[in-house]
Amino acid sequence: MPVTYARQGRIGLITIDNPPVNATGQAVRAGLMEAAQAFAADDRAQAAVIFCAGRTWVAGADISEFGKPPQAPFLPDVITAIEALEKPVVAAIHGTALGGGLELALGCHARISAPSARMGLPEVTLGLLPGAGGTQRLPRLTGLAAALDIITSARQIPAAQALELGLIDALATGDLTADAIALAETLAGQPPRRTGDLPAPDADPAATDALKATLARKLPGQIAQTIAVDVVTEGLALPFDQGMAVERAGFLALMDSPQRAALIHAFFSERAVGHLPQLRQAQAAPLDGVGIVGGGLMGAGIATACLLAGLDVTLIERDDAAASKARGTVAGLLDGAVARGKLAADRRDTILSGAFRTDTDYAALSKADLLIEAVFESMDVKHQVFAELDRVAKPGAVLATNTSYLDVNAIADATARPGDVLGLHFFSPAHVMRLLEVVVADRTSPRAVATGFALAKRLGKIAVRAGVCDGFIGNRILSHYRAAVDAMVLDGADPIAVDRALTDFGFAMGPYAVTDLAGLDIGYMTRQRKAADRHPRDRVPVFADRLYEQGHLGRKSGRGYYDYAAKPPVPNPDLPALLVAVRAELGLTPRDFTDAEIVARTMAALVNEAARVVADGTAARPLDVDVVMLNGYGFPRWRGGPMHWADAHGLDRILADIRHFAETDDHFWRPAPLLVDLVATGRRFADLNKEPQS
């Protein structure tokens, strides 16, 4: 039974026990209804407390039920029934009270919380709005501005702040159970204080309009946040019951939206990436000490990520000057974390005087459990580093390379322990970006893979397993869609228009703004590296080479596709002439591209290569690709990732596009066999998302 009712003296005790997070699935809703009735009928009980077993209070509605036929009793009705009870009910909150969980607490007549608890209404992150009274009860407790902030930001507020806002009535000072029962004792025999009976706060149209304008600017394309604002304000202008009806209508409308499906796909995919057979079989190495080789921006970023997570880090550089520079970089990144409120100033000092050490002797790494190499991208250099690591590392230490494209099998060959070697591909800035590709080479042991995933969890990152190939999952797909946008620019598209079309689609940044940020030298070096393998029909973005050769490296030189002397940056005024000259030189007749064609070509290229990445096992499943693109490449979360988007858009339409584009370039536009097969058999990428077997 996920919900039980008992009594202690004159206090009824309702316990929800539905691991892992006490979500209000159908059985919990039915159980709560029954428990409320049992309490109502129990003449000896004069007040009740709702507790949750396990690690948390209710973390929300059961998301896995969404999109399936709804089953009574519905959560708003359950909460309304509890609120309507004639005897007071206290919510005793620990862990996280989220979504429907917080709404359940709001429907209780008093709330007490463990000081460590956190509360929030994260429904908008799932493309929904609070649908069990949150839009109408929360503002009655906290006021309108705070409620709109909590609902639209989806942030979790700490218990102390919840107390200040009036969201809860008390913080437990000792044992939560005892304190909650004591609170119920004080309320026993009194009429219950129903949140729904409290007066609604006054409307503030100017503030509401300003909030909606900010949301439209910050979250282009996303609908849940603005609809939530409308539902809150429209509902509050009506009597409570009618306000609840407005909320229900808004909730159900969003439940049917493609954005809800996409965001919930993202939620479950980010958890499913860790469901791998290797991880079940293996115990990760301990992570007490981490060694890092190389203190450039990447090495320093990885060191900072580890230090912020409380790990001990020893960083090796080639000489004292480089070690001292690396120390300065890490100190600067920690300062940034202090400025952003992510780290207390005194913790920074403790880290720099204790947990963080630099050295020039590899022997200093002899005690580390995990060693991460972040040196120059050259196989010779990597071989030297790994030979050294093999020499000094203790038995069982895991050896990782942060390479973004080199062959991890070949790197492992430099050691006598290839089972301990894997790739850990961090994204820059490594202490900020959430994605970590865990690159599994042919001989990498399950223990090493488990260590990569354990590190990601410790650092608050999302790990995705990737196979060995040039670019792994993300950069390999990126290089393909880069080729598609560059080809459009060669054929007449304006890079600035390409950026705009793709940011309008929802990408965080357009490809040319991204190039400016990374530096045009990066792409230039990649093209140089790959020049020998280039097919005669591969199209070379000569315009990008030309910009680089003229010293325009993007942001770092002040000019690339955009001119950064201006604030905000403007398109590089010399770019149109440069493009005209390059096209003339190549004998190309420019044509116009609509935004729709720009998006269609970009997405077709992306999805086509992603299908190959799945088919050859570089990504375990389509959902792994989605998680990589969402967390490392600015793909719009509300579109669920490229594979989810492709399923929703129609694989047959994408295949038809590819075949159409192939009429003018059948070298680049070759349909991936997996895509052809899925269309032929009427399947979708989602059909391949089951748990991998190996």
Catalytic annotation, residues:
103, 123
Number of alpha carbons in the 13 Å side-chain half-sphere of residue 464: 32
- Give residue 80's identity as a one-letter amino acid code: T
The tokens for 237 are 């202008």
Angle, vertex CA 245, rays to CA 240 and CA 251, nearest 5 = 125
Distance CA 39, CA 35 (A): 6
Q: Measured in Å, how far apart are the chain's first and last C-alpha atoms?
A: 36
Distance CA 313, CA 528 (A): 35
- Torsion on CA atoms 152, 153, 158, 161, rounded to nearest 10: -60
- How much helix, strand and coil, in percent to the nearest 5, is found in the chain? 55, 10, 35
Distance CA 39, CA 87 (A): 9
Distance CA 151, CA 231 (A): 11
Cis before residue 205, ω within 30 degrees of 0? no
Give me the DSSP letters along 299-320: HHHHHHHHHHTT-EEEEE-SSH
Beta strands (DSSP E) in 561-688 are 562-563, 570-571
**CB of 472 vs ligand 3H9, minimal distance in Å:** 23
Q: Could you tell me if 469 and 618 are in contact, meaning their C-beta atoms sit under 8 angstroms apart?
A: yes
Distance CA 579, CA 573 (A): 11
Per the listing, tokens 């009860």 go with 137
Question: Which backbone phi and psi does 311 adopt, to 5 degrees?
Answer: -90, 155
**CB of 267 vs ligand 3H9, minimal distance in Å:** 7
Q: Could you tell me if 603 and 504 are in contact, meaning their C-beta atoms sit under 8 angstroms apart?
A: no
Nearest residue to 552 (alpha-carbon basis) of 573, 537, 528, 532: 573
Q: How many CB atoms lie within 10 A of CB 133?
A: 28
The set of residues, in sequence order, having a beta carbon less than 8 Å from that of 512 and lying 6+ positions away, is 485, 495, 496, 498, 499, 560, 561, 562
The tokens for 366 are 């002899």
Q: What is the DSSP letter of 73?
A: S
Q: Could you tell me if 646 and 639 are in contact, meaning their C-beta atoms sit under 8 angstroms apart?
A: no
- Give residue 492's identity as a one-letter amino acid code: G
Number of alpha carbons in the 13 Å side-chain half-sphere of residue 658: 26
Q: Which residues bind ligand 3H9 (CB under 6 A)?
A: 20-21, 23, 59-64, 75, 96, 98-100, 103, 122-123, 126, 128, 130-132, 134, 271
Nearest residue to 90 (alpha-carbon basis) of 112, 68, 66, 58: 112
Q: Could you tell me if 308 and 337 are in contact, meaning their C-beta atoms sit under 8 angstroms apart?
A: yes
The tokens for 295 are 């203190």
Radius of gyration, alpha carbons of the chain: 28
The tokens for 254 are 């969003």
